Amino acid sequence: MQPKPNDPLAQMPSLMTEQGKLCWSPDGDDWPNRETSSFVEAAGLRWHVQQMGSGPVLLLLHGTGAATHSWRTLAPMLAWHFTVVAPDLPGHGFTQAPAPERLSLDAMAADLAALLDKLGHKPVLVAGHSAGAAVLARMCLDGTIAPHGLVGLNGAMLPIGGLAGRIMTPFARLLAMNAMVPRLFASFANSDKFIERMIADTGSALEPAGIKFYRRLTSSPGHVASAIRMMANWKLAPLALDLPRLATRLMLISGGNDKTIAPKDAARVHAMVPRSSVVTMPGLGHLAHEEQPREVSDLMIGLARSIGLLPMPHAVVPELVQAWQLHPRGALSK
């Protein structure tokens, strides 16, 4: 998707230069699951990708402002059953930043399709956290991937409504036009207390290792600049209009204490998508998959078994959600 000729963001030089970006050495020396990392050229970018395990291909996409560290515990659990593929999104973590206008939903979906083609992967199950779920839904609708199942982990698939929605994107565009903003934010973020407050504001509580890696990311002006640019370019209204024709089996996992994406948004998406279900995880926030990776892994494996991607266990078949609450389509209205 080409930028409009009069788009001031497109006319600006990119804020996401190599200066201020994370470097694999030394920033990646202790990166989670480092031994599974490689760098791949695709769509004009140098991508950081982690691949582990064997079996059906499972693609994991993190959300805005995160990176592959978000899957540090969940990915190895899933690798017992799947070939897990997890890239850093463009401009995030250790993946090269694209031109500013390509940090949009449509362009990111196209670039990820090119990455999968280069890797030779055709995922049969995909899972995305927050904005990552929107990217995967777009790819499913565009036909660039054809998985049997899509898992949205506190997925951000709908436009923010009300006054906040009318203000957020223009405000993000203003921030993206100021080259000083990422450096100022990164300087404030160089504190565990700042990151702890930021994570607490999502409704989640993380272990020290999780806080350390989020601090490293948000202390990088290049990473912050890409996250801001992504928010400035993000348009979910077209995706929301297309969601009713999403044919992929959709499981929405929602943290009951998510303060970033309201749990009611999962119910709204559930009402729009015919082959969908909602799982509520009480007490967990926006980073539920980092707070309770074992439970999320069980849910994803249960989904894979229910649609024939993995064999059923020989013993008694376990309930899909166990202690969590599953709402098949229609149950929420009862």
Look at residue 172 in the predicted model and tell me its pLDDT.
54
Look at residue 9 in the predicted model and tell me its pLDDT.
35
Q: What is d(CA 107, CA 153) in angstroms, rounded to the nearest whole number?
A: 22
Confidence of residue 160 (pLDDT cuts 50, 70, 90): confident
Q: Retrieve residue 311's tokens.
A: 């064999």
Q: What is d(CA 236, CA 9) in angstroms, rounded to the nearest whole number?
A: 19
In which residue are the tokens 């899957």 written? 71
Q: Which residues, in sequence order, are CB contacts of 180 under 8 Å at separation 6+?
A: none
Query: Does residue 3 lie within any of the structural domains?
Result: no
Q: Which residues, in sequence order, are CB contacts of 195 under 8 Å at separation 6+?
A: 189, 211, 214, 215, 218
Q: Which residues, in sequence order, are CB contacts of 59 under 8 Å at separation 6+?
A: 85, 86, 116, 121, 123, 125, 126, 127, 136, 145, 147
Strands 125-129 and 149-153: parallel
Query: Does residue 116 lie within any of the structural domains?
Result: yes
Sign of CA dihedral 70, 73, 78, 82: positive
Considering the entire predicted model, what is its pTM? 0.87
Query: Does residue 2 lie within any of the structural domains?
Result: no
- The length of the chain is 334
Distance of CA 157 to the CA centre of its chain: 11
Q: What is d(CA 45, CA 64) in angstroms, rounded to the nearest whole number?
A: 18
Look at residue 194 in the predicted model and tell me its pLDDT.
86
Confidence of residue 166 (pLDDT cuts 50, 70, 90): very low
Confidence of residue 227 (pLDDT cuts 50, 70, 90): very high
Domain count of the fold of the chain: 1
Residue 239 lies in domain: 8-333
Least confident of 117-126, 135-144, 192-201, 206-215: 192-201
Q: Which is higher by pLDDT, 178 or 291?
A: 291
Look at residue 3 in the predicted model and tell me its pLDDT.
39
Q: Is the Cβ–Cβ distance between 319 and 298 less than 8 Å? A: no
Query: Does residue 230 lie within any of the structural domains?
Result: yes
Query: Does residue 262 lie within any of the structural domains?
Result: yes
Q: Is the Cβ–Cβ distance between 244 and 274 less than 8 Å? A: yes
Summarised one tens digit per residue, pLDDT across range 42-85 is: 999 999 999 999 999 999 999 999 999 999 999 999 999 999 99
**320: DSSP letter:** S
Task: Tell whether the model's pLDDT for residue 1 goes beyond 50.
Answer: no
Q: Which is higher by pLDDT, 20 or 83?
A: 83
Mean pLDDT of the chain: 86
DSSP states along 247-281: -SEEEEEEETT-SSS-HHHHHHHHHH-SSEEEEEE
Buried b (16+ CB within 10 A) or exposed e, 75-105: bbbbbebbbbbbbbbbbbbbbbbbebbbbbb
Q: Which amino acid makes up residue 331? A: A
Q: Give the CATH number, domain containing residue 163.
A: 3.40.50.1820
Q: Is the Cβ–Cβ distance between 181 and 175 less than 8 Å? A: yes
Look at residue 183 in the predicted model and tell me its pLDDT.
67
Of 279, 277, 281, nearest to 256 (Cα)? 281
List C-alpha distances in Å: 103 to 14, 32, 76, 119, 176: 11, 25, 29, 21, 12
Query: Does residue 159 lie within any of the structural domains?
Result: yes
Q: What is d(CA 136, CA 123) in angstroms, rounded to the nearest whole number?
A: 11
Look at residue 20 in the predicted model and tell me its pLDDT.
79
Look at residue 94 in the predicted model and tell me its pLDDT.
98
3-state DSSP call for residue 286? Answer: coil
The sheet carrying 125-129 orders its strands as: 37-42, 45-53, 83-87, 57-61, 125-129, 149-153, 249-255, 276-281, 325-328
Look at residue 4 in the predicted model and tell me its pLDDT.
40
In which residue are the tokens 């008694």 written? 316
Summarised one tens digit per residue, pLDDT across range 87-130 is: 999 999 999 999 999 999 999 999 999 999 999 999 999 999 99
